[in-house]
Structure 1
Amino acid sequence: MSQLIQKYNIPGPRYTSYPTVPYWNQDTFSGEEWKSTLKKSFDESNEKEGISLYIHLPYCESLCTFCGCHKRITKRHDVESPYINSVLKEWKLYCDLLGSKPIVKEMHLGGGTPTFFSPENLQRLINGIFKLALKAPDHEFSFEGHPNNTTKEHLQALYDVGFRRVSYGVQDYNEKVQRAIHRIQPFENVKHVTEAAREIGYTSVSHDLIFGLPHQTLEHVEESILKTKSLRPDRLAFYSYAHVPWLKGNGQRGFKDGDLPSAEAKRSQYEEGKKLLTKVGYEEIGMDHFALKSDSLHQSMVSGKLHRNFMGYTASKTQVMIGLGASSISDSWYSFAQNVKSLEEYRHLVDNDVIPIYRGHILTVEDMIIRKHILNLMCRFKTSWGTDETYFPEISMVKDRLFEMEQDGLVAFGIDGLRVTTEGQPFIRNICMAFDVLLHRKEPETRLFSMTI
Structure 2
Amino acid sequence: MKNLLIQKYNVPGPRYTSYPTVPYWDETNFTYQNWVDTLKKTFTESNHSEGISLYIHLPFCESLCTFCGCNKRITKNHNVEHPYIDAVLKEWTLYCKILGEKPLIKEIHLGGGTPTFFSAKNLEDLINGLFSHANKAKDYEFSFEGHPNNTSREHLQKLYDLGFRRVSFGVQDYSEKVQKAIHRIQPFHNVAKVTFWAREIGYTSIGHDIIFGLPFQELDDVIDTIEKTKSLQPDRLAFYSYAHVPWIKGNGQRGFRDEDVPKDEEKRKLYEVGKLLLYENDYLEIGMDHFALKTDSLYKSFENGKLHRNFMGYSSSKTQLMIGLGVSSIGDSWYSFAQNVKNLEDYYQILEWDKLPFLRGHLLTEEDLVIRKHILNLMCQFETSWKEKSNYFDEIPDVLVQLKEMENDGLIIIQNDGILVTEAGKPFVRNICMAFDLRLKRKAPETQLFSMTI
> TM-score, normalised to structure 2's length?
0.99
Q: Which residue of 2 aligns with 1:75?
A: 76
Letter in 2 for 1:386: K
Paired residue for 1:121?
122
- Give the Cα–Cα distance (whole angstroms) in 1 for the partners of residues 221 and 227 of structure 2: 10
For 1:333, the equivalent position in structure 2 comes to: 334
Once the two structures are superposed, the pairs formed by residues 16-415 of structure 1 within 5 Å of their partners are 16-415=17-416
Shift of 1:191: 0.2
Separation in 2 of the partners of 1:89 and 1:48?
26
| Paired AA for residue 365 in structure 2 | T
**How many Å apart are 1:388 and its aligned residue?**
2.7
Q: Alignment partner of 1:448: what SS?
A: coil
What is the number of residues matched between the two proteins?
A: 453
1:433: which partner in 2? 434
Is the 8 Å Cα contact of residues 90 and 351 (structure 2) preserved in structure 1? yes
Worse-superposed segment, 342-351 or 291-300: 342-351
> Matches of 1:205 and 1:120 in 2, distance apart?
22
The CA deviation at 1:352 is: 1.6
Q: How big is the shift at 1:211?
A: 0.5
1:85 shift after superposition: 0.1
Consecutive unaligned residues in structure 2, runs of 5 or more: none
Instruction: Work out the CA distance in 2 between the residues paired with 1:241 and 1:386.
Output: 36
1:101, CA displacement in angstroms?
Answer: 0.9
Question: Any idea what SS the aligned residue of 2:143 has?
Answer: strand
Q: Secondary structure at the match of 1:242?
A: coil
Q: CA deviation at 1:380?
A: 1.1
After TM superposition, give the deviation of residue 413 of structure 1 in Å.
1.4
For residues 409 and 211 of structure 1, what CA distance do their matches in structure 2 show? Answer: 24
Provide Cα deviations, 1:364-390, integer angstroms capped at 9, x if missing partner. Answer: 000000000101111111111133311
1:325 Cα deviation after fit = 0.1
Amino acid of the residue matched to residue 272 of structure 1?
V
Contact 2:6 2:264 in 1 (8 A): no
Could you tell me which residue of structure 1 aligns to residue 453 of structure 2? 452
Kindly provide the CA deviation profile for residues 36-76 of structure 1, in whole angstroms up to 9, marking residues without a partner as x: 00110010001001111000000000000000000000000
d(CA) in 2 for partners of 1:367, 1:60 = 36
The answer on whether the counterparts of 2:111 and 2:144 sit within 8 Å (CA) in structure 1 is yes
Q: Give CA-to-partner distance per residue, 1:376-431, whole Å, 9 cap, x none.
A: 11111111113331111111110011010011111111111111111111111000
SS of residue matched to 1:49: coil
Runs of 4+ displaced beyond 2 Å: none
User: What SS does the aligned partner of 1:402 have?
Assistant: helix
Amino acid at match of 1:441: R
RMSD: 0.7
1:431 aligned counterpart, secondary structure: helix
TM-score normalised per structure 1: 0.99
- Give the Å deviation of 1:230: 0.2
**Percent identity of paired positions between Structure 1 and Structure 2:** 69
Shift of 1:5: 2.2
Q: Distance between the aligned counterparts of 2:240 and 2:312, measured in 1?
A: 14
Aligned to 2:49, the other structure's residue is in SS state helix
Letter in 2 for 1:54: Y
Separation in 2 of the partners of 1:432 and 1:77?
Answer: 42
The offset of 1:158, in angstroms, is 0.6
Letter of the structure 1 residue corresponding to residue 296 of structure 2: D
> 5+ residue gaps in structure 1?
none
- Higher mean Cα deviation, 347-356 or 59-68? 347-356
